Structure 1
Amino acid sequence: MPLSEQEQRLLDEMERHLLHNDADVVSAPSGDRALSYRNLVYGALLLLAGVGGLIVGVVLGDVWGVVVGVVGFAAMLGGVMFAVTPVRKPVSSVPQERAAKQHSSASFMDRMNDRWDRRQDGH
């Protein structure tokens, strides 16, 4: 069943709005945490080692196979967790007094409203 003209126009508007907001979310700074390339590489290596352990566990088949398979699965899970865990960025050079003063001058909701207004204005 085809969409009516009004439904199609509404769908196009929703898509444009979603693409605009997704771009804001992707480019928004994530605070003082970021993914580390080193952690991604080590996590991927641990994941591959876990897959290898899981395969060896399936090949062995008996009690030792189950133990090796469980350890391999745990290594895979640990590798993924290690890869996606963000690390702290270095502390900025803004003096503590100035940062505290900025946060205390406006309430949390006021700052969120300001951010929302700036985002809607395209800044």
Structure 2
Amino acid sequence: MPLSEQEQRLLDEMERSLYQNDAEFVASVARVQQGRRSYTWLVSGVLIGLAGVAVLVLGVVFRQPLIGVLGFVVMFAGALVALGSPRRPAGRSTSRPSGKRPAKSGFMDRMNDRWERRQGGNS
């Protein structure tokens, strides 16, 4: 059910108030959203780390310190890949079909776009 004009105005006013009165909070939320990690890199790092553990255990079983050190290096590399992975942008796509709002729209505009997509664009 779409919002009435009064409800829409009230929500727009609340959004403007939030941006004006609590700019520090808005900036911190934007930084967190832009810093999302890529799950592909995280999973790859975990798998590399597990392979490093296996090599380390093999080094202990065969009593070969060089293999154990190699396993530790592989584990460390896996941790670096998992924790220091490149970050993806927060938005999924900045390209929009013609006739839509520009990419730099407000919170309520994005919510309205999502609602329209869910409803099949009949609004």
TM range (shorter): 0.3 to 0.5
TM-score (norm 1): 0.45
TM-score calculated relative to the size of structure 2:
0.45
